[in-house]
């Protein structure tokens, strides 16, 4: 039983990728058609705002067309991989739409990746083209390291571009070539390759098809109740599935405007949101916490902010309560998904977050979710197990990696590695990553539950729980805590936890850290690094 969504379009069962699932019956045939539909209705509307640049849908269309023409003139063809190493700026969107027009495959890459990581991705997908920010020139691998990379285009000032390898991006706009007609594409074709976070080992290239991306854009449109005039702030990287799908493609679907923040800083976020009348964003919970800690938070006019989406990590209960107090008009919405699910799998029905604080929402209309035990058997409602996800938004597999595809997909479902449950009313709860579960003498300790309780203490800025080996119990719980109060002690935090948790769930060890907890380029907490810190200094004094 799923909570209802108002005005939901007609669904029908269809077969794709050898699977059968719900699809939206009326949908654009592929991403070029999606953009064309929006352009026909909203040509004069603002599509992108980046610093002092304001770009209408008509201007976006014209520029993307010229970029596609320039790429075609230089020999780029359908199926070629076009890597995009750009910050949150219009050139990212120009290159993305140009790739769609040519029937090429866009490969967005996070600008924080190091040279060896860039070389791995460029080689794994055999990219032929790289569009990159010129100030990242020193990180671009040499031709010897990436032999397939034939064309490089640098974005930046004249001085930056001169010093960068390859041609200036402006060359594409000035080529004067005839624009090709938008490619006729099958919706099952790959449109984007997005590489997973790579928290362990090499990242895998998830193949996001036109079908996947269109269904995710439609999910956001209907479940967030988006319409023309929406103004969404892009504060996470455009190269991440959240930035690409929840912000850019969702706005391109409804004729909304993308407010582009090149690099997140809490004050810059609040200034842009206030000045440009932001109505929506979707970010990791840490961004909310950082904004709330700005000393003059109340002076920013956030009255237009209608929906505050969050995902990627549990939102501390203390942060949700602070938002409700300071922004009473804001509708908080938890959305759960992954690169392999083209962003959302679940979404909290609007207005229901306060009644379901521990839930990531309900399963989306074209998604299917099963809770499975370790033997691959479905468990009853309310029971705990690994979440297996299927549906129109789930990718068919990983680029040129049959072994990983076979390992991580089963019976049309992607095995998420997340431990959770679905209650009788259809609300989903995420308890932990499967690999992060702590087994303390046979008792299961879910890290997210303990971290949520720690977040309610006024001195805790952020926290993370990991397992620590123990010769008697097998594992004990080790908490890392960033505190705003130097006088805060481990004993105080344990006493606080004891008011809310069973005794076996209390952190056995508490280590206070001097700065923010380690995160990857997409803002996700890296518990692997905390384990490395613990292993490197096992005699460190706790609390």
Distance (Å, rounded) from C-alpha 425 to C-alpha 411? Answer: 25
Q: Interior CA angle at 336 toward 274 and 239, to 5°?
A: 65
* Confidence bin at 308 (pLDDT 50/70/90): very high
* Confidence bin at 199 (pLDDT 50/70/90): very low
Give 489-543 as a DSSP string: -HHHHHHHHHTTS-GGGS-SEEEE-SSPPPB-TTS-B-HHHHHHHHHH-TTPPP-
Please, are residues 313 and 284 in contact by the beta-carbon 8 Å criterion? yes
Task: Kindly provide the residue ranges of all beta strands, DSSP E only, lying in 423-472, ordered along the sequence.
Answer: 427-433, 438-440, 443-445, 460-470
In tens, the pLDDT along 269-282 reads 999 999 999 999 99
Distance (Å, rounded) from C-alpha 416 to C-alpha 389? Answer: 7
Distance (Å, rounded) from C-alpha 365 to C-alpha 351? Answer: 18
Q: Is the pLDDT of residue 80 over 90?
A: yes
Q: How many CB atoms lie within 10 A of CB 3?
A: 15
Q: Interior CA angle at 80 toward 76 and 84, to 5°?
A: 90
pLDDT of residue 543: 52
Higher-pLDDT residue of 388 and 357 is 388
* Confidence bin at 363 (pLDDT 50/70/90): very high
pLDDT of residue 3: 56
Distance (Å, rounded) from C-alpha 210 to C-alpha 192? Answer: 8
Using the 8-state DSSP alphabet, how is residue 223 labeled?
A: H
pLDDT of residue 7: 67
State the number of CA atoms in the 13 A half-sphere of 208 facing the CB. Answer: 30
Q: Is the pLDDT of residue 482 over 90?
A: yes
Q: Is 113 helix (H, G, I), strand (E, B) or coil?
A: coil
Please, are residues 317 and 345 in contact by the beta-carbon 8 Å criterion? no
Distance (Å, rounded) from C-alpha 80 to C-alpha 59? Answer: 25
In tens, the pLDDT along 127-173 reads 999 999 999 999 999 999 999 999 999 999 988 999 899 999 999 99
Across-strand partners of 460?
Answer: 483
Sign of CA dihedral 493, 496, 498, 500: negative
**pTM given for the model:** 0.86
In tens, the pLDDT along 450-465 reads 998 898 899 999 999 9
pLDDT of residue 37: 98
Q: Is the pLDDT of residue 381 over 70?
A: yes
Distance (Å, rounded) from C-alpha 45 to C-alpha 58? Answer: 8
Provide the CA 490 distance to its chain's centre, in angstroms.
34
State the number of CA atoms in the 13 A half-sphere of 248 facing the CB. Answer: 28
In tens, the pLDDT along 103-119 reads 999 999 999 888 988 99
């Amino acid at each position: 039983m799923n909570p209802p969504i108002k005005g939901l379009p007609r669904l029908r069962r269809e077969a794709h990728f050898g699977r059968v699932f719900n699809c939206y019956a009326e949908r654009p045939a592929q991403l070029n058609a999606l953009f064309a539909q929006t352009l026909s209705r909203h040509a004069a509307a603002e599509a992108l705002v980046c610093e002092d640049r304001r770009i209408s849908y008509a201007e976006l269309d014209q520029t993307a067309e010229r970029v596609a023409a320039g790429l075609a003139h230089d020999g780029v063809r359908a199926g070629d991989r076009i890597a995009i190493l750009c910050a949150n700026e219009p050139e990212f969107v120009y290159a993305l739409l140009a790739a769609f027009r040519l029937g090429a495959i866009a490969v967005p890459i996070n600008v924080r990746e190091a040279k060896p990581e860039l070389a791995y991705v460029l080689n794994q997908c055999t990219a032929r083209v790289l569009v990159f920010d010129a100030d990242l020139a020193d990180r671009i691998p040499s031709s010897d390291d990436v032999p397939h990379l034939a064309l490089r285009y640098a974005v930046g000032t004249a001085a930056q571009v001169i010093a960068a390898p390859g041609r200036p991006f402006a060359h594409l706009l000035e080529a004067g070539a005839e624009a090709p007609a938008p490619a006729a594409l099958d919706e099952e074709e790959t449109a984007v390759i997005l590489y997973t976070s790579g928290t362990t080992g090499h990242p895998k290239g998830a193949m996001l098809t036109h079908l996947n991306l269109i269904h995710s854009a439609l999910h956001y449109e209907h479940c967030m109740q988006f319409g023309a005039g929406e103004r969404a702030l892009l504060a996470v990287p455009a190269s991440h599935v959240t930035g690409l799908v929840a912000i850019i493609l969702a706005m391109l679907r409804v004729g909304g405007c993308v407010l582009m923040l090149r690099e997140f800083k809490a004050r810059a976020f609040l200034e842009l949101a206030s000045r440009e009348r932001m109505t929506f964003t979707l970010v990791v919970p840490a961004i909310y916490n950082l904004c709330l800690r700005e000393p003059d938070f109340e002076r920013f006019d956030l009255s237009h902010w209608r929906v505050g989406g969050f995902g990627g990590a549990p939102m501390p209960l203390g942060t949700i309560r602070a938002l409700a107090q300071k922004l009473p008009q804001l509708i908080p919405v938890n959305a759960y998904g992954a690169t392999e699910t083209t962003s959302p799998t679940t979404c909290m029905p609007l207005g229901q977050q306060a009644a379901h604080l521990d839930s990531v929402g309900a399963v989306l209309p074209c998604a299917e979710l099963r809770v499975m035990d370790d033997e691959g058997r479905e468990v009853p409602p309310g029971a705990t197990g690994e979440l297996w996800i299927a549906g129109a938004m789930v990718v068919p597999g990983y680029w040129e990696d049959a072994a990983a595809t076979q390992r991580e997909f089963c019976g049309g479902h992607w095995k998420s590695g997340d431990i959770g449950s679905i209650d009788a009313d259809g609300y989903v709860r995420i308890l932990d990553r499967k690999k992060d579960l702590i087994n303390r003498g046979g008792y299961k300790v879910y890290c997210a539950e303990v971290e949520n309780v720690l977040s309610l203490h006024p001195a805790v800025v952020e926290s993370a729980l990991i397992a620590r080996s123990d010769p008697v119990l097998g594992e004990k719980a080790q908490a890392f805590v960033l505190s705003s109060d130097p006088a805060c002690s481990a004993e105080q935090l344990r006493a606080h936890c004891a008011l809310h948790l069973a005794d076996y769930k209390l952190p056995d060890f508490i280590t206070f850290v001097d700065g923010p907890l380690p995160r990857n380029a997409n803002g996700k907490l890296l518990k692997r690094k905390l384990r490395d810190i613990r292993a490197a200094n096992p005699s460190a004094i706790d609390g």
